[in-house]
Amino acid sequence: MIYTILLLGSKGQLGNSILSVATEKNFKHSFICKDIETLDITKKEAISRFLSEQKVDIIINCAAYTAVDQAEDEAALAYLVNETAVFHLAEIAREKDIYLFHISTDYVFDGTSSVPYQPEDATTPTSVYGKSKLAGEQAMTGSGCHGNVIRTSWLYSPFGHNFVKTILRIGKERSEINVVNDQYGSPTNACDLAMAILTLIDKGNFNTGTEIYHFSNRGIITWHEFAQEIIRLANYDTLVHPISSAEYPTKAKRPHYSAFDLRKIENTLGYSIPEWKESLREIVEKLV
């Protein structure tokens, strides 16, 4: 079946990746692409007006306030985008029987685990960003709408700003860089996440109520290991030195450990998610 999909945050990493993968893999769905400039989802009347004029089957909400450190000083704005807007989308999706995909984050966890987080594990965010994203999840799960919350981590792509592009840029400019080696998690190629979302849609995997999934590439590493592999794939001679989080202080606290248990989404998708090095190579080859 061909669906009309409203893609919010279409100019961001995941939005661009969804459009790219849909074209490359010949998914036939029709996309309506919107960003804050053309549809202000923090205003319920704007969403209602648009959806009264345009028939939509599915909403994919990739829009978010993602400036993790800046959120500590702009809490009101972070909550407006990450909670209030989601509340409006979920309410209207329920009223109009639209299926909602909403993207969330590993920052909803405090990072004190030593084993991969399952979707049902207790959420205890420590940053404003994480708290605002959790509030958005709760707004959706409490709305009665039908949809999926998909948490992801360490997202990168050929688009926008991300860790991979930053390391490639500074690795080309410098002979040595320092990267933290005591934060553990899993990178996510946004194209792999896009493929998963489109696969869920094509499989007709539409839940009643809201289901929470975890998605990242396979493998648990540190940011230092991630940077080393980026430099290696780019064939740069840059030395990557490991440092502690204490040596690289940030305004917002990062999770020490935020790897995901992927079994639930893999069982639903019906395939194994690619390993992180394999997926990273595809992106680095496009960027260098």
Q: Where are the alpha helices (DSSP H) in 115-272?
A: 128-141, 163-173, 190-202, 223-234, 263-269
Task: Go through the domains of the chain in sequence order and give each one's CATH number.
Answer: 4-160+188-218+260-273 (3.40.50.720)
Q: How far apart are CA 152 and CA 262, in angstroms?
A: 11
Tell me the C-alpha distance between 39 and 46, whole Å.
Answer: 7
For 66, list phi and psi in degrees, rounded to 5.
-120, 10
- All residue ranges of the chain with pLDDT < 50 are none
φ/ψ of 175, rounded to 5, equals -90, -20
What's the confidence (pLDDT) of residue 207? Answer: 85
Beta strand 184-185 with 221-222: parallel, antiparallel or unpaired?
Answer: antiparallel
Q: What is the pLDDT of residues 127-167, one digit of tens each?
A: 999 999 999 999 999 999 999 999 999 999 999 999 999 99
Question: What gap in Å lies between CA 66 and CA 74, rounded to an integer?
Answer: 11
Using the Cα atoms of residue 154, residue 158, residue 164 and residue 167 in order, give the sign of their dihedral.
negative
Q: What is the pTM of this model?
A: 0.97
Query: Are 180 and 244 spatial neighbours (Cβ–Cβ below 8 Å)?
Result: yes
Burial class (CB in 10 A: 0-12, 13-18, 19+), 232: middle
Give yes or no: 271 in active site.
no
Across the chain, the runs of DSSP E, i.e. the strands, are 4-8, 30-34, 58-61, 99-105, 147-152, 155-156, 176-180, 184-185, 188-189, 210-215, 221-222, 239-243
Q: Residues 65, 129, 184, 236: which is the catalytic one?
A: 129
Is there a contact between 44 and 96 (Cβ–Cβ < 8 Å)? no
Contact between 227 and 165 (Cβ < 8 Å): no
State residue 175's pLDDT score.
97
Helix/strand/coil for 103: strand
